[in-house]
Amino acid sequence: MTVKARMVCKTISVSAYRSNQDLPDSIWVASQEVILEPVYSEHKDDPNYTYSQATPSGQVKLTITNKDAYEYFKPGKVYDVNFIEVGT
């Protein structure tokens, strides 16, 4: 089974952290935190209405350290997200 959610990028924040604070020569790593929330519409003719009925609220928070992925997410843009269980 797959659960599909339609989500909007709400915020992106940039930060940095030390890779290992116990080591004096640890490096600083830049990251982005991306917050996605489900789209919502009360209008039955809106394509997002069906998604609103199935997943009316929630939040996905991602910390991204891959610089190539930084440009992918944009605040206000909408993304389809598929949740697929991975077998063990």
pLDDT in tens, 24-83: 667 777 889 999 999 999 999 999 999 999 988 999 999 998 888 888 999 999 999 999
Model confidence, pTM: 0.80
Output the DSSP codes for 21-65: TTSTTPPEEEEEEEEEEE-----TTSTTHHHHHH--S--EEEEE-
pLDDT in tens, 61-76: 999 988 888 889 999 9
